[in-house]
Structure formats: structure tokens, C-alpha cells
Structure 1
Amino acid sequence: MESAVGLCVEGGPRVMVVAARDCDCTSDCDCDCDCETETELAPEAELESRELVPPHPPPSHSPHLSKSPHDNYYMVYCLFYLYGITSMMPWNFFVTANDYWMYKFRDVTPHNGTISIGKTSFQAEFTSYLNIAASIPSTICLIFNMFISHLIPLNIRIISSLSIITLFFALTTVLVQVDTDNWQDEFFIVTMITVVIINGAGAVFGGSLFGIAGKFESSYMAAVINGQALGGVIAAIAQILSLAFKVSATHSAFIYFMIGDFMIMFSLFSYIRISRVEYFKYYIYGSLNDTGISTNNRMTYVSSLNVLKKIWVYALSLGIVFVTTTSIYPGVTVLVESHHSGAGGDWNNVYFVPVVNYLIYNTGDYAGRVLAGFILKPRTKSWIVAAIAIARIAIVPLFMMCNAHPRSHLPVIINSDTQYILLMLIFAMTNGYEANISMINAARVVENHEKERASILMGAVLGIGISIGAAIGMCLVRSL
């Protein structure tokens, strides 16, 4: 005997009635009440239906829209990929333009008619300051975005954050062509303020982007996450090409930042365009009428605590993954030299660090994220995801044993270039796979109206993990 759920609305509030198919309150009843029935689903079928049916599907009897819109030419999907690249692009370009920063902060004071070739304090400490200026405001703004996401409309958050990034990244581009030799202190302060503002706005954009992607099918969340890794690959290739063609530090930085300006502005204008597309509005706001206007704009209260109770294992896994990663990369890995450094050719002395530390890492990270999007396993056993994240911590001491210099405390045990490259590949691919599978599964285990909050919470955990890992990384560098 099949059971059914009757929703009676006569003479008072809606009452849910669970009855047998031969009861008096079914779809075939003769009573005056207005009843609707729906068949109960088994737990497995219910989970499957929640994954396959888009959030807020329009009723099948709607006279205006009988099925969900289509992503024509995969336009929204491709733009989500672009937004993923854009969300990490400022950081990737700031890091890969290291030669430019070394040039800007070189010692320009003559010493007995010569210029000192030693590193200045700005040159030696710039990367550490850059990490702090990027990670702390990012974490604060990710947490802030979690609390204000229901107060400030989505379009305002996205458009305003992209506008701020565009403005200050353009300022960074202009300063490339400005002679700052006589005001390095002031230039350093301006740069740090710019990094803080860009990364703060980028965190709001990235957190909101995760919230948006969480409302779509899992492939759209994968597109955002994969795009973040692809941005690192693009930046690494640009750096290697500049080395191959022996482009000056200022010219290569100007090219980096001009590309960044174009990508950010294109992301801004393209978002304004897709925010009016029916497919986009269908998933963000709910069902649409025949004019393309949302018919479901009611705000639903979502408890962050209740959502966190559902996703805490995936959140913990994601946090551990990024604490582990940022404690080693790039602080320790950028110090690892080729075993034949100083005696070999260009590969050992010029290309080893850019290729292995940036290109191979970002390519492996991207491959891991793409693989996770295709396999999507484990789908339900969250403890396996957490166990892999915890086991991955064991890779940290292995990197500490590699040929990183300068060092004065720990011995070098892994001095083979091949072994180090293999270790980097495993490190990168597990980072990408775990990050992607955690983000996707976190959006799967919550209700449709909780997906945005779940994705924003995961973004906040990601930021916290990066900040903690960066702090640990400074200690690990000093303990070498």
C-alpha cells in the first residue's frame, strides 16, 4: 500500500496529512477541502531527486514556464570559469611579478660610485608583507560576507567588489610606469594599501561567487574552483615566457597587469549581462514567469549554525587542506633549488623554480580539481574526505627535507630533482582534488535554500585556513 501526503487548507492553516492511498483524504476524495498529494520518497530516492532537480523548480502546471531554461552555448558555465580565474587573478599576478617588485625596491643609493647588489630590507621582506596584506583582509571580508550576504543584494555585492578591484588594479598598472626610486617608502605603503583593498574586495567577490555557484548544478561550482587553479597556470606561463624572451621586469609586469585589467573589466560587464539571463535568474531567484521576472523573491531565513552542523566535516577537511598547503607553498617551496644549481644550465639556474614551483604546482592543482569534478567520489562518506586531508599533513616534513636554502638546522635528505618534482605533483593534485570534492559535497548535503549559505561558509573556512597556514609557513621557513 503506497502512502501519500495530503495538504489540506480548508478552514484554517495548512495541515500535512500522511494517509494510505485508500483513505478519505486523497486526490480522489469528494470532500470540500482543497487537497494536494505527493508520493513519499525513500531516503535514497529523496537524496537523488534533490541532486537532480534544480533548486526552486517551477510547478509543472505553470501556464508560463513548463521547464527550466537552458544554458545556451554554455555561456553561464564558461563565464563561471572566467569568474574563478578573476577571483584569484590579482593574487597570482602580484606573486608572479616578483622580479618587478625586486626592481622597484632595489638599492638605488650610490656607494662609492657603485650600486649595492645585496638585497634591501624591502626586497627580503616584501613577499612576507604581501602574504599578510592579502590573507588577513581576505579572511576578515570572507567572514564579513557570511554575515551580510542576506542583507546586501547579490548584484550589489558582485558589481561593487569588481568595480573596486578594477579601480585599484588599474592604479597598480599605472604605477608600473612611474619612477618611484625617490619615494620607495611611500610606494611600499601605497602598494600594501592597494593589496589590502584588492584582496578584501576580492574576498567579497569570491565568497559571493561561491554562494552563487552553490545554487547551480555541481559542475558550475567545479567551474569556479577549476578557474581559480587555471588562473595560476596562466600566470606561471606568462612568467616563463617573459624569462624566455628576456623581457624586462617592468615590461613583463605591465603586461601582467594590463591583462588583469582587461579580465576584471570583462568579468564586470559580463556579470551585468548574465544577471539578466533567464537561466541565471532561474537558479538564483527561482521560477520565472513569461516575462522572465522571478516569481519567487521571498527571503528565507537560513541559520548558519544549522548549515554548519550539516557541512562541518567537509568544512574541517577544506580547512586542513589549505592550512597544510599554505604552510609549505609558496614560502618553503620557493626556496627549493635544483640539485645542480650554480653548476648546470638555464634549467637549473633560471627555469627550475618558475617551472616546478609555479607551473607544475598550478597544473597539478588544476588537474586534481578537474578530476574531482568528473569522478565526484567519495560522494557520501565524508569521513574519507577528512581522513585524506589529515593524512596529507605527512607531506609537510617531506618538503622540509628537500633542497631548500638558506637553511641551518635541518639536513637535506631529498636532494633529487626528480623526487622533488614527483612530490610536488602529488602535493598539488591532492590539494585540488580535496578542495573541489569538499566544496561540491558541502553544497550537496544541504537543502536548496541553504546552498548559498553553505558555499559562503566554506569560502570563509578556506580563508581562515589560508591565514593559519601562512602564519605556520613563516615558522617553518625559519626552522629550516
Structure 2
Amino acid sequence: MYWRESRVIYKDAPSNEKLQRWEYSEQVGTVLVGQKGAALTSLSSWIRFKIVWMIFFALGLGTLLPWNFFMTAIGYFKYQLRDVNVTTDRLHLNGTDEVDGTDGVRENYLQGKFGNMMTLCAMLPLLIFSCLNSILLQRIPEVVRISGCLAAIFILFLLTSILVKVSLEPIVFFSVTMLTIVLINSFGAVLQGSIFGLAGLLPASYTAPIMSGQGMAGTFAAFAMICAIASGSSQTDSAFGYFNTACVVILLAILAYLALPYLEFSQYYFNKGKSEWKKDKGKEKDRVCKMDLIKQAEDLKQKAKRAECGQWK
């Protein structure tokens, strides 16, 4: 564990009483000099301090990659909503129909409404739960919000992956899919707000990996779709691969988050943020108490004036 006071980096952490006088070092120098004169390479230092960056990158990837895969598989969902008495094996991988003017297949009612309903069921809960994040922040612990949302999204994608191999009626499949979309985006809204709030306890540079991970999610989903088209995979096989990959990424994000509290770097900033929050909360209580005392004093003065006026009359 390496700490820095001024421009010198020392080995071994200070005592808890003197912790506030020290600053965690993120510098990547050529050599780190310890109290005993030992030298370490910059590579080991980079790995030690950047592992938190990689964890937040994985969390950013885990928040958006599942939903991007869900949208990428829109051709699969429309294929599952086809009329069973019509052959639709010629459905393109990108979700469009092959219509030749003679015996081409056209979208039915559920297929035509799927895109609009998907957008509505995704954006509405996303808006609602993004607004409710401030309330959930005070009532639900951070570890429950993040790990619980990741676990819930993992279960939903696991069930979606299983449904690829199960034959359902179009109306039943449509209803189950819309319910799944609502739940995924509800948990996703809480998850994103919680992760950005967690990153706010660290230096500002640790918000960037979340955004980078979310950007990589879209790129990865598009690359997976290109690979599926190039390989000539069927709709069900492609969707099965999408959903299984999403499950793996979510599982990795859960493991990365569970490892985060055990890292010394994150422990330092998390404990620092909690102590500052407690101090601010104590100051707020003191301010409220002072305001109450001032108000009580003013009330007493008014009562005294009223009593004096009554005696004078």
C-alpha cells in the first residue's frame, strides 16, 4: 500500500489518527521510493491503482450491453410473433421482411406494433425510476441497489434466453416480452443512478470509465450483429447467443462490484465520503437546532410583548 505526502511516495500506510494528512497516490512514476529505499516498477503501480478504473468500466459495460443486445435481437422477436400458418423462414437477420409482391410475407398486427410498444415500455419506466432514485437512495442501501439490480437483470436475461428454446403463442410471447422490457429498464435506471453515485465518491476521473463502458456496449452489440449476419446464423441462434453473452457480462459485472469494497484504493475514498457525509449531516442538524432555538426565542418575545400590552390596557 503506497501513500503520498507532498511529492514523496512512502511505503506502509499511516495510522488512522493521521489518515487525514495523507493522500492516496495515483501517479504513475518511473520509480516509487519507500521508507527503506526499496524501488518498485511503474507497471506494478499502474496495475494496483487502475484496477478500480477497470471495475467501473465493467460496471458501465454491464449496465447497457444487455439492453443493447435486446434491441439488436428485434428481428428474433418479430420472427417469434409471426403467424404460425405462414412460412417466414426468409426473414432477414436485420428484422425486415422479404416482400416480392407475389408470395412475400408482410408484418401482422403484433409485429407492426412491437417497435412502438418496445420504446414505450422501455422509456416510461426509465423516466419514472430515474426520478425515484433520490428516494431510493435514502431508503435502500447502495450494495442492495447495485447488486440486487444486477442480479435481477441477470435473471431476466436468463429467462429470456430460455424462452428462445420454448414455443409460445404470439400474444403470450408479446406480453411476456413487454413485461420483461419494463422490468429490465426499471432495474437499469436504478442501477445507472447508483453506479454514478458510487463513482462520485472517487476522483472525477473515475466517471469516465463508466461512460467508456457504456460506449463499448453499443460497439460490441453492433459487432456481434455483424458477426451473426456474416455467419448466416438463424434468428433463434443469434438471439440465443446475444442473451447468453449478456448473462456472462452481467455476471462479470456482479463479481467486479463485489470485489470493489476489498480494494484499498476504493476503501479509502468510500470511507472518506461516508465521514464527510456524516459531518455534513451533523452540521445540518446543528443548523436546524439553532433555527428552532431562534424561533422559540422569537415566540417568547412575542408572548412577552402581548403580556405587557395586556397589563397596560
Q: Structure 2 length as normaliser, TM-score? A: 0.68
Aligned match of 2:147 in 141, 159, 167? 159
In 2, the alpha carbon distance for the partners of 1:274 and 1:175 equals: 33
Displacement of 1:222 after TM fit? 1.3
In 1, the alpha carbon distance for the partners of 2:19 and 2:204 equals: 29
Aligned match of 1:298 in 260, 269, 278? 278
RCO higher in 1 or 2 (8 Å CA, sep ≥ 6)? 2
In 2, the alpha carbon distance for the partners of 1:65 and 1:160 equals: 36
Q: Structure 1 length as normaliser, TM-score? A: 0.45
In 1, the alpha carbon distance for the partners of 2:86 and 2:177 equals: 25
1:143 corresponds in structure 2 to: 131
1:93 corresponds in structure 2 to: 69
- Maintained 8 Å contact 2:81/2:110: yes
Displacement of 1:296 after TM fit? 6.2
Aligned match of 1:168 in 142, 156, 170? 156
What's the secondary structure of 1:247's corresponding residue? Answer: coil
Displacement of 1:298 after TM fit? 2.4
Question: When the two structures are aligned, how many residues end up with a matched partner?
Answer: 235
In 2, the alpha carbon distance for the partners of 1:139 and 1:59 equals: 46
- Maintained 8 Å contact 1:141/1:204: yes
What's the secondary structure of 1:275's corresponding residue? Answer: helix
Displacement of 1:64 after TM fit? 9.1
Displacement of 1:299 after TM fit? 7.0
Displacement of 1:278 after TM fit? 2.1
1:62 corresponds in structure 2 to: 18
- Maintained 8 Å contact 1:285/1:297: no
What's the secondary structure of 1:150's corresponding residue? Answer: helix
What's the secondary structure of 2:84's corresponding residue? Answer: coil
In 1, the alpha carbon distance for the partners of 2:242 and 2:267 equals: 34
What's the secondary structure of 1:149's corresponding residue? Answer: helix
1:274 correspondence with 2:243:
no
Closer/same/farther in 2, CA of residues 299 and 119 from structure 1, 3 Å limit = farther
Closer/same/farther in 2, CA of residues 76 and 132 from structure 1, 3 Å limit = same
1:217 corresponds in structure 2 to: 203
1:251 correspondence with 2:237:
yes
Displacement of 1:248 after TM fit? 0.7
In 1, the alpha carbon distance for the partners of 2:131 and 2:15 equals: 36
- Maintained 8 Å contact 1:69/1:278: no
1:318 corresponds in structure 2 to: none
What's the secondary structure of 2:278's corresponding residue? Answer: coil
- Render the CA deviation track for 1:170-208: whole Å, top value 9, x for unaligned: 11111111122xx11111111111111111011111010
1:346 corresponds in structure 2 to: none
In 1, the alpha carbon distance for the partners of 2:180 and 2:241 equals: 19
What's the secondary structure of 1:189's corresponding residue? Answer: helix
In 1, the alpha carbon distance for the partners of 2:266 and 2:112 equals: 47
- Render the CA deviation track for 1:414-447: whole Å, top value 9, x for unaligned: xxxxxxxxxxxxxxxxxxxxxxxxxxxxxxxxxx
- Render the CA deviation track for 1:239-261: whole Å, top value 9, x for unaligned: 01111111111111111111100
Q: What RMSD in Å do the two structures reach over aligned CA positions? A: 2.8
Which residue identity lines up with residue 135 of structure 1 in the other structure?
A: M
2:7 corresponds in structure 1 to: none
Which residue identity lines up with residue 227 of structure 1 in the other structure?
A: G
* Larger Rg, first or second structure (1 or 2): 2
1:190 correspondence with 2:176:
yes
In 1, the alpha carbon distance for the partners of 2:174 and 2:107 equals: 16
After TM superposition, where is structure 1 displaced by more than 3 Å over at least 4 residues in a row? Answer: 58-61, 63-67, 294-297, 299-302
In 1, the alpha carbon distance for the partners of 2:118 and 2:76 equals: 14
What's the secondary structure of 2:24's corresponding residue? Answer: coil
- Render the CA deviation track for 1:7-58: whole Å, top value 9, x for unaligned: xxxxxxxxxxxxxxxxxxxxxxxxxxxxxxxxxxxxxxxxxxxxxxxxxxx9
1:103 corresponds in structure 2 to: 79
Which residue identity lines up with residue 186 of structure 2 in the other structure?
A: G
What's the secondary structure of 1:231's corresponding residue? Answer: helix
- Maintained 8 Å contact 1:137/1:200: yes
For structure 2, which runs of at least 5 residues remain unmatched after alignment? Answer: 1-13, 27-46, 88-101, 283-313
Displacement of 1:130 after TM fit? 1.0
Displacement of 1:65 after TM fit? 7.8
In 1, the alpha carbon distance for the partners of 2:49 and 2:269 equals: 17
- Maintained 8 Å contact 1:170/1:261: yes
Which residue identity lines up with residue 256 of structure 1 in the other structure?
A: Y
Closer/same/farther in 2, CA of residues 299 and 235 from structure 1, 3 Å limit = farther
1:286 corresponds in structure 2 to: 272
Displacement of 1:116 after TM fit? 6.8
Displacement of 1:61 after TM fit? 6.6
Displacement of 1:101 after TM fit? 1.2
Closer/same/farther in 2, CA of residues 110 and 93 from structure 1, 3 Å limit = closer
Closer/same/farther in 2, CA of residues 60 and 110 from structure 1, 3 Å limit = closer
- Maintained 8 Å contact 1:166/1:264: yes
In 2, the alpha carbon distance for the partners of 1:299 and 1:161 equals: 30
- Maintained 8 Å contact 2:153/2:187: yes
- Maintained 8 Å contact 1:108/1:115: no
In 1, the alpha carbon distance for the partners of 2:134 and 2:15 equals: 31
Displacement of 1:297 after TM fit? 7.0
Displacement of 1:66 after TM fit? 3.4
In 1, the alpha carbon distance for the partners of 2:145 and 2:112 equals: 36
In 2, the alpha carbon distance for the partners of 1:216 and 1:131 equals: 34
In 2, the alpha carbon distance for the partners of 1:117 and 1:216 equals: 55
In 2, the alpha carbon distance for the partners of 1:132 and 1:194 equals: 13
For structure 1, which runs of at least 5 residues remain unmatched after alignment? Answer: 1-57, 288-293, 303-480
Displacement of 1:79 after TM fit? 1.4
1:177 correspondence with 2:177:
no
In 1, the alpha carbon distance for the partners of 2:23 and 2:175 equals: 54
1:235 corresponds in structure 2 to: 221
- Maintained 8 Å contact 1:86/1:263: yes
Closer/same/farther in 2, CA of residues 110 and 252 from structure 1, 3 Å limit = closer
Aligned match of 2:190 in 204, 207, 227? 204
